[in-house]
């Protein structure tokens, strides 16, 4: 067990996986210099055939990932900021997510797309989106959103070793967070949520960057005699609805915290599933805490108002538990 | 030469069958016919092995067949049968057979460009002399990925052959109304070998492709071929049912019918004494019988079990 920063856990895992399997290749814009530090040193170690800087051409890079994966490689495509998923979206939505079915299951597409997501750093609307709802709706891609260094390592291994396209979204600006990472070759299976904090009064469900304010809110609520159970989804596709439903069956209440815009967010989907499958257990309405349907503002004071925070989560949860009719 | 003729005739008879089947209401979806462009697929694919990946277009039956794809499985696919090459999940626009390097016809115009560049990158890393080929139309040359792929393929010296089939139409728009300048000039800007050939002349296509494929196999990087041809049929056979007006007239098509690539290659074969007219006629009879039987078999085959799709979306995972 070693204490590591999240970005270091990702970097170490990329080294280990490229070492483990010579078919793993990585390419993307400026991956050699590594803006986030996650691909740092790989180029020196593995050379230009395994890791390569590309021109800025996302529409081509996503298509190349499909072609190279079809050619037998395990492709890691680094898209830098998740907004660039949009510029490369044709090959994601029309090829990566669909070709396996369209070809009658002839191919496997082992592709891991890495991109930083989320706001909080005044990068404005074109560098701070949280695009996982869009990806969840495609059907043919997995979505992993790690929140701890250990999960970052375990989920990345599952993504790279797996035979399906996976979007591995790094919470922007959270790479410095530290945590224990096991030394052995462990993986975190997809579709397995983690109960980070057991509780009996209310279920708080979140993912990625929102886990921190959610856990802080749970801590604060404990001081108000509200015992919150906190669940980290870890992957949104596949989504471990079983763990969420089991928790709601116990607590009767749920608050879902999501950094995506509210309309058709991951939170909306989870809310719909809970309403369908846990309706008889509910003692209060299903609550979503999300980003309003606006583009991420640049001004720090305005940006701060749109991203869910500890106080908001605690206040909404307290109100739900104590005044459910309000 | 005769193999190329056979391929072209196989494409022609298969597509005539599909044309007739569509108009007889035997197919669930429309078909985009390659008739008149057969020399290009045949002339290029004559240089390729199963291991060489090709990416194709929505007008992809010809590339599939020229690359050795099974006609029976293709017909069954277009008929939406479980015996289809894609188990009835892809249909006419998306025929693929990865075991033969046919990495997919594609419904998105220009999508094959980037996919073939990725396949070429894999080929380059494997160092086994494979070459990737992308067939695309003049319409696709107006997609931004065309420039992007020329850039990265040239920069990385990818073993990639880009074959632009200039058939004079982007769906229903005449090329000169949507395309500025010469498409080949766009490729020339990257200083890679470029050639413009008569796309209805199988021998000319074969020769141009020979040089390009050899260069790519030897590590010499990408090449570009523009094959000038003409789309004899419409964008899609279903268009007569929903187009509100005509977009071209018969006088435009007629001169191109006289440039039929199969007749031209047939004449060339006879003039050069490769075989006799009776041999070509016998070949035609054999192919017609095979395709008619394949269509009957496709019609009689079972449709796919809907449960199949649950296992096909992901590998080893439910959707």
Shortest Cα–Cα distance, B175 to chain A (Å): 24
- pLDDT, one tens digit per residue, over B247-298 is 999 999 999 999 999 999 999 999 999 999 999 999 999 999 999 999 999 9
Phi, psi dihedral angles at A65 (to 5 degrees): -60, -40
Average pLDDT, chain B: 97
How close is the nearest chain A Cα to the Cα of B83, in Å? 10
Assign residue B35 the CATH number of its domain. 3.40.50.970
User: Quick one: A14 and A152 in the same domain?
Assistant: yes
pLDDT at B244: 87
Report the residue from B152, B314, B318 with minimal CB separation from A100.
B314
Pick from B53, B117, B319: CB nearest A139: B319
Same domain, A259 and A306: yes
Residue A104: closest CA among chain B residues belongs to which residue?
B86
Query: pLDDT tens-digit profile of A235-280?
Result: 999 999 999 999 999 999 999 999 999 999 999 999 999 999 999 9
Position A326 scores a pLDDT of 62
- What mean pLDDT is predicted for residues B194-217? 98
Distance CA B209, CA B54 (A): 13
Same domain, yes or no, for A9 and A117?
Answer: yes
Looking at the structure, tell me whether residues A252 and A177 fall in a common domain.
Answer: no
The answer to whether residues A172 and A92 belong to one domain is: yes
Cβ pair A163:B53 closer than 8 A: no
Cα–Cα distance measured from residue B225 to residue B215, given in angstroms and rounded to the nearest whole number: 13
- According to DSSP, the β-strands at A235-237 and A142-144 are antiparallel
Structural domain includes residue A188: no
Indicate which CATH number applies to the domain containing A100. Answer: 3.40.50.970
| Whole-number CA gyration radius for chain B | 19
Pair A51, A125 in one domain:
yes
Angstrom distance (rounded) from CA A178 to CA A3: 6
Query: Which of B57, B114, B162 should one mutate to test binding to chain A, selecting the residue with the greatest count of A CBs within 10 A?
Result: B114
Q: How far is CA A210 from CA A216, A241, B16, in A?
A: 10, 18, 59
Q: What is the DSSP letter of A91?
A: I
Count of structural domains within chain A: 2
- Please give the pLDDT value at position A223: 96
Confidence band (pLDDT; 50, 70, 90) for A162?
Answer: very high
From chain B, the residues in CB contact with A66 under 8 A are: 114-115, 118
| Region of B99 on the Ramachandran plot (φ > 0 left; ψ -120 to 50 alpha; else beta) | alpha
B9-23 pLDDT, tens per residue? 999 999 999 999 999
Task: Determine which of A6-20, A121-135, A168-182 has the lowest per-residue pLDDT on average.
Answer: A168-182
The two three-digit tokens of residue B92, written as one number = 């006419």
Listed in sequence order, the residues at least 6 apart from A140 whose beta carbon sits closer than 8 Å to its beta carbon are A96, A97, A98, A100, A101, A164, A165, B313, B314, B319
- If you ran DSSP here, which 8-state letter would residue A259 be given? E
Q: What's the pLDDT score for residue A172?
A: 85
Average pLDDT across chain A, whole number: 97
Say if the ipTM goes beyond 0.90.
yes
A27 & A161 share domain: yes
Instruction: Tell me the per-residue pLDDT of A52-110, one tens digit each, with 9 for 90 and over.
Output: 999 999 999 999 999 999 999 999 999 999 999 999 999 999 999 999 999 999 999 99
Task: Say if A186 falls within a structural domain.
Answer: no
What is the span of the domain harbouring residue B181? 2-236+254-301
| A231 three-state secondary structure | strand
User: What value does the mean pLDDT take over residues B181-193?
Assistant: 98
Does the structure show a pLDDT above 70 at A191?
yes
Same domain as A155, residue A14: yes
pLDDT over 80 (residue B159): yes
**Per-residue pLDDT tens over the stretch B59-114:** 999 999 999 999 999 999 999 999 999 999 999 999 999 999 999 999 999 999 99
Quick check: bond before A315 cis, omega within 30?
no
Residues of A taking part in catalysis: 127
For residue A155, being part of any structural domain is answered with yes
The CATH number that applies at residue A261 is 3.40.50.920
Q: Say yes or no: A307 and A203 in one domain.
A: yes
A71/B121 CB distance under 8 A: yes
pLDDT at residue number A239:
98
The answer to the question of residue B41 being in a domain is yes
H or E segment and range at residue A291: strand A287-291
Which of A181, A208, A229 delimits the end of a domain?
A181
Among B292, B284, B291, B289, smallest CA distance to B266 is for: B284
Mean pLDDT of A157-179: 93
Would B319 be classed as within a structural domain?
A: no
User: What's the token pair of residue A179?
Assistant: 């945590």
Which tokens belong to A196? 């980070």
For residue B119, list chain A residues with Cβ-Cβ distance below 8 A.
Answer: 67-68, 70-71
Q: What is the dihedral of CA A259, A261, A266, A268, to 10 degrees?
A: 130
Q: For residue A50, is pLDDT > 70?
A: yes
- In the predicted model, is pLDDT for residue B192 greater than 70? yes
Domain that holds residue A299: 194-322
Asked if A233 and A138 sit in the same domain, the reply is: no
Q: Is B311 part of a structural domain of the chain?
A: no
List the Cα angle A47/A50/A56 in 5-degree steps: 95
Does B244 fall in a domain? no
Does residue B124 lie in a domain region? yes
Task: Determine the distance in angstroms separating the CA of B251 from the nearest CA of chain A, rounded to an integer.
Answer: 38
Within a domain: B315:
no
Measured between CA atoms, the residue of chain B closest to residue A64 is: B118
Interfacial residues of A (vs B; Cβ cutoff 8 Å)? 25, 49, 52, 54-55, 57, 59-73, 75, 90-91, 94-95, 99-108, 139-140, 142, 163-164, 190, 238
B53-90 in b/e burial notation, b at 16+ Cβ within 10 A? bbbbbbbbbbbbbbbbbbbbbbbbbbbbbbbbbbbbbb
With contact defined as beta carbons under 8 Å apart, do A23 and A72 qualify? Answer: yes
Nearest to A24 by CA among A35, A36, A34, A39: A39
In a shared domain, residues A81 and A139: yes
* A172/A167 Cα distance (integer angstroms): 15
> What whole-number distance in Å separates Cα of residue A69 and Cα of residue A163?
10
- Give the strand pairing for B132-137 and B54-55: parallel
The answer to whether B94 contacts A102, with C-beta atoms less than 8 Å apart, is yes
- Kindly tell me if the per-residue pLDDT of B57 is higher than 70: yes
CA distance B3 to B278: 16
Q: How far is B17 from chain A (nearest CA, A)?
A: 23
The pLDDT assigned to B39 comes to: 98
- Domain total for chain B? 1
CA distance B65 to B10: 8
């Amino acid at each position: 067990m070693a204490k590591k920063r999240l970005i270091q856990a990702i970097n170490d895992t990329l080294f280990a996986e490229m070492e483990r399997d010579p078919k793993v290749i990585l390419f993307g814009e400026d991956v050699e210099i590594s803006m986030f530090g996650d691909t740092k040193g790989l180029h020196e170690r593995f050379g230009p055939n395994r890791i390569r800087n590309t021109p800025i051409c996302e529409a081509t890079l996503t298509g190349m990932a499909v072609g190279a994966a079809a050619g037998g490689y395990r492709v890691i495509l680094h898209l830098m900021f998740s907004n660039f998923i949009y510029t490369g979206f044709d090959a994601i939505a029309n090829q990566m997510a669909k070709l396996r079915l369209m070809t009658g299951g002839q191919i496997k597409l082992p592709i891991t797309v890495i991109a930083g997501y989320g706001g909080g750093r005044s990068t404005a609307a074109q560098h701070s989106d949280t695009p996982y709802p869009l990806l969840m709706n495609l059907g043919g891609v997995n979505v992993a959103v790690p929140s701890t260094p250990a999960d970052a390592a375990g989920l990345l291994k599952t993504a790279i070793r797996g035979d399906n396209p996976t979007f591995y979204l790094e919470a922007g600006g959270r790479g410095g967070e530290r945590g224990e990472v096991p030394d052995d070759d462990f993986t975190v299976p997809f579709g397995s949520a983690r109960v980070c904090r057991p509780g009996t009064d209310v279920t708080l469900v979140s993912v990625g960057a929102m886990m921190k304010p959610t856990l802080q809110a749970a801590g604060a609520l404990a001081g108000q005699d509200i015992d919150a159970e906190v669940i980290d989804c870890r992957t949104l596709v596949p989504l471990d609805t079983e763990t969420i439903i089991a928790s709601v069956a116990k607590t009767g209440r749920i608050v879902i915290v999501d950094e995506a815009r509210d309309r058709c967010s991951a939170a909306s989907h989870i809310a719909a599933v809970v309403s369908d499958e846990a309706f008889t257990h509910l003692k209060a309405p299903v609550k979503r805490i999300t980003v309003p349907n606006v583009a991420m503002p640049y001004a720090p004071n305005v940006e701060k108002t749109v991203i869910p925070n500890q106080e908001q989560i605690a206040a909404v949860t307290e109100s739900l538990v104590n005044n459910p009719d309000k | 030469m005769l193999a190329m003729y056979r391929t072209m005739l196989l494409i022609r008879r298969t597509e005539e069958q599909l044309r007739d089947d569509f108009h007889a209401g035997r197919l669930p979806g429309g078909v985009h016919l390659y008739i008149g462009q057969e020399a290009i697929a045949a002339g290029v694919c004559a240089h390729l092995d199963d291991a060489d990946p090709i990416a194709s277009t929505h007008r992809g039956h010809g590339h599939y067949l020229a690359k050795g794809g099974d006609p029976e499985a293709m017909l069954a696919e277009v008929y939406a049968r479980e015996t289809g090459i894609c188990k009835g999940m892809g249909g006419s626009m998306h025929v693929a057979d990865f075991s033969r390097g046919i990495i997919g016809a594609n419904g998105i115009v220009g999508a094959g460009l980037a996919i073939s560049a990725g396949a070429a990158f894999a080929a380059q890393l494997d160092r086994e002399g494979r070459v990737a080929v992308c067939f695309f139309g003049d319409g696709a040359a107006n997609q931004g990925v065309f420039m992007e792929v020329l850039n990265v393929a040239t920069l990385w010296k990818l073993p990639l052959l880009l074959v632009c089939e200039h058939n004079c139409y982007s769906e229903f728009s005449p090329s000169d109304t949507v395309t500025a300048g010469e498409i080949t000039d766009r490729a020339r800007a990257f200083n890679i070998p470029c050639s413009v050939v008569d796309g209805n002349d199988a021998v000319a296509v074969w020769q141009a492709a020979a040089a390009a494929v050899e260069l790519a196999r030897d590590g010499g990087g990408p090449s570009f071929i523009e094959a000038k041809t003409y789309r004899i049929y419409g964008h899609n056979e279903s268009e007569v049912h929903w187009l509100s007006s005509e977009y071209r007239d018969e006088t435009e098509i007629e001169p191109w019918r006289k440039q039929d690539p199969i007749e031209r290659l047939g004449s060339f074969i006879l003039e050069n004494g490769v075989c006799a007219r009776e041999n070509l006629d016998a070949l035609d009879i054999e192919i017609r019988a095979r395709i008619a039987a394949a269509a009957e078999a496709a019609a009689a085959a079972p449709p796919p079990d809907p449960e199949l799709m649950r296992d096909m979306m992901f590998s080893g995972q439910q959707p």
